[in-house]
Amino acid sequence: MAIKPLFQKHNPVENPVNRVVEIPVAAICPNPAQPRMIFDDYELSQLAVSIRQNGMLQPITVRRLDGAGYELVSGERRLRAAKLINMEHVPCIVINTDNEGSAIFAVLENIQRADLNYIEEALAIKSLIDHFGITQEDCAARLGIAQSTVANKLRLLRLTDEEKTLALRFRLNERQARALLKLPHEKRISAIEKIGSQQLNTMQTDKLICDMLGEKPVERKKHVWAFKQVGLYINTFNKTIESMKNAGIDCVATKNRTDDFMEYIVKIPLK
C-alpha cells in the first residue's frame, strides 16, 4: 500500500494560498525585513536534529513573489535548520500579502513567539516605522499592540550600543534595561554589571537605580503585574492553538470562565 504524503508537493500551476504545501528550499529567498539578528549555532543544530528525526512539525510561512519563487515571511530558524540537513523541500503555508504585510507579519510572529530579544523587537519596530513612513500609533494598530508598548520598546534604542550589548550579555530583562534610562550615561555600565553579577530582580533593580540617584523607590502594586502576566500566557496559549490549526492539526479548544478561574480543554486527534 502506498503511503500518502503528509504535505502536498507544490504544483506551480495550482493556487497554493492558505494551503500547506511542500516548496523547494532553493525557491525561497530571505525576508529583507527579518527582525531576528542573532541565530545560535548550537540551537540551530539541535533543531536540525529534531527535524531530521521527527520532521518539520510546524510549516514555515512564505509569500509568492511577482517574478518567480517565494519570499520567507516567518520561520527562518526552521528554514536554516532544514538547510543544515540538506532538505530539498519544506512544508510551507503560502499567504497572500504585500511588502508591508510581509514585514509586519514577520515582526508580529517573532514577537508573539518570543523569538526576539527586546533590542531586536525595538529595532524591528523602528524599521517598520522608518521604512513605511508610519506613526507609532499606526505601527501599534498594524501589530495589534498598545501604542504605549511601541513607545516603551523604542525608548530602549536610546541606550548606547555598548549598553545594549552588556544588558543582553548580563541577561537584564526589558524592564530592567528600560530602567537604566533614568541614570546618566556615566552610571549605566556600572549599574548593568551590578544587576547582572548580583542577579537582581526587577524590584531590586528599581531600588538600586533609586539609590544611585538618591531617590526613594516607588512601591508598585503586585497584583496588577500578576494580572498582566496571566493575560500574556492566555494570549500565548491562543496563538499556539491557532498555529496548530494552521499546520493542519484538527484540534478543538473549549474554555469555561468563572469568577475564580479560566478552564481550557484541548482535544488533539492522534490520527
Beta-bridged to residue 28, according to DSSP, are 70
Backbone angles phi, psi at 91, to 5 degrees: -70, 135
Confirm whether 14 is a catalytic residue: no
Q: Count the residues in the chain.
A: 271
- Here the cell at position 188 is 549605566
State how far the alpha carbon of 40 is from the alpha carbons of 13, 37, 60, 80, 95, in Å: 38, 10, 19, 11, 28
Could you tell me if 11 and 23 are in contact, meaning their C-beta atoms sit under 8 angstroms apart? no
d(CA 48, CA 89): 14
The residue among 6, 12, 143, 132 whose CA lies nearest residue 70 is 12
d(CA 251, CA 266): 7
Q: Which helix (H) or strand (E) holds 63?
A: strand 60-64
Q: What does the DSSP 8-state code read for residue 260?
A: S
Annotated catalytic residue, options 22, 71, 76, 109: 76
Backbone angles phi, psi at 46, to 5 degrees: -65, -40
- Give the three-state DSSP class for 9: strand
Sequence-distant (≥ 6) Cβ neighbours of residue 129 within 8 angstroms? 135, 136, 139
Sequence-distant (≥ 6) Cβ neighbours of residue 136 within 8 angstroms? 129, 147, 150, 151, 154
Question: What are the catalytic residues?
Answer: 76
